[in-house]
Structures are given as structure tokens and as C-alpha cells.
Copies of this chain bind each other. A is one copy, B any other.
Amino acid sequence: MSEEANPTRKRLVDAATKLFYAEGIGRVSVDAVAEKAGLTKRTLYYHFKSKDDLIAAYLEGRDQPNLEQMAGWFEAAEGGADKKVEAIFTNLARVTRHPKWKGCGFLRTAAELAATPGHPAVKAGARHKTNFEKWLASALSGHDVAEAKMLAREIVLLMDGAFSSMLIHHNPDYVAAAGHAAATLIRARMMGKG
């Protein structure tokens, strides 16, 4: 009935996640999602009132796992804040090389839905990006809180730029350059402009 403890609903969201990410929301029919879940379309429409609803559920389901991935990479790295952030980008450069990587699902969905600004899926994507930015600011706020917020925003910009550049060029050098720039900004702002 509710969110988590519904196996049928979860099967549908899982199927939607795989298909929407792999092919894009516009190129995947609700029939295809239902079939992938081993259910009929009518069942899908029992659990979701529309395709747009299903798209929103797909992105909402990706918020926590993505945040945990990033935090895991940050915490596992040795060194100061600059090195820890650069480690995120190093890991990103690795995963974005994988042929199944098809960009950041949140940004891609926002791009596909640019013509319908109030779409619940775009809002879910914005919430995720804000959550990530807030987590990053808190992870960086050993020194000045205001400066950590500014830095977090700049790093988010570099990361979204890296996702976009990687998607269009398929060249991981852009991700590495973004990591390098992020580390430079951290040193320039946190460590006395060095």
C-alpha cells in the first residue's frame, strides 16, 4: 500500500529505472515498463496515475542511493578536503567510461522535460541536486560555513558540467579536468589562496 513495502510497486519502479535510464523517458513506453516488470499495463496504471507519476517515482528512488555513493567515495579517500573531492571525480571518471553510463539521470530527465517546467520529476531532480549540494557544504564546513556553501555550489557546477561534457564528448578527460578545477578552488578559497 505505502511506499516501501509494496513489492509490485517496487517491481514497476525498478523496471522503469532500468529502462528510463538506459533509453530516456520519451523513448520508453509504459507498455515496455509493464512488460519488463512482468505485469500488465493496467496494473501499472493501478499503482501510478500517469506516466509522469512513474517518471517522478523513478527519480525519487535514485536520490538516496546516489547520495550514498558520493559520500562513500568522499569518506574513503585519504587527505584533505581537496583530495577527498578530487577522489569523487576520479571515481566518476571511472564509472562514466562504462558503456552503460548514459549521463546523470536527473539532468537528462530535466532536459527531456524542459518544455513542462512544473513537472514533478524535474522537481524531484532539483531536490536531489539540492540535497547533494547541502551534503557537500556540510562535508566541507570545517572552516567558514559561508565559504563552504559557496565552494559546494561551485563544485556542483563543475560536476554537472562534467556530466554534460562527458555525455556529449565521451571523453573522461573532462571529468578529470573538473576534479582538478574543484581541488584548485578548494585550495584557493579554504587554504589561504594557495
Determine if B160 and A164 form an interchain contact, defined as CB atoms under 8 angstroms apart.
yes
Q: Mark A144-156, 1 if CB is under 8 A from B, else 0.
A: 0000001001101
Chain A 133-189 interface residues, beta-carbon cutoff 8 Å to B:
150, 153-154, 156-165, 167-170, 174, 177-178, 180-181, 184-185, 188-189
Copies in the complex: 2
Determine if A114 and B167 form an interchain contact, defined as CB atoms under 8 angstroms apart.
yes
Q: Which of B24, B153, B157, B177 has a CB less than 8 Å from the CB of A150? A: B177
Q: Mark A12-56, 1 if CB is under 8 A from B, else 0.
A: 000000000011101100000000000000000000000000000
Determine if A24 and B115 form an interchain contact, defined as CB atoms under 8 angstroms apart.
yes
Determine if A157 and B167 form an interchain contact, defined as CB atoms under 8 angstroms apart.
no
Q: Which of B114, B157, B158, B177 has a CB less than 8 Å from the CB of A108? A: B114
Determine if A165 and B160 form an interchain contact, defined as CB atoms under 8 angstroms apart.
yes
Determine if B157 and A178 form an interchain contact, defined as CB atoms under 8 angstroms apart.
yes
Determine if B110 and A168 form an interchain contact, defined as CB atoms under 8 angstroms apart.
yes
* Chain B residue at smallest Cβ distance from A187: B188
Determine if B164 and A177 form an interchain contact, defined as CB atoms under 8 angstroms apart.
no
Chain B contacts of A114 at CB under 8 A?
A: 24, 102-103, 108, 167
Chain B contacts of A106 at CB under 8 A?
A: 168
Q: Is A129 positioned at the interface, with any CB of B under 8 Å from its CB?
A: yes
Given A157-B161, A161-B156, A181-B154, A168 contacting B107 (CB threshold 8 A): yes
What would be 6 A-B contacts, judged by CB atoms less than 8 Å apart?
A24-B114, A24-B115, A26-B27, A154-B177, A157-B177, A184-B188
10 pairs of A and B residues whose beta carbons are closest in the complex? A161-B161, A157-B161, A111-B111, A26-B26, A160-B161, A160-B164, A154-B181, A110-B168, A108-B111, A102-B114
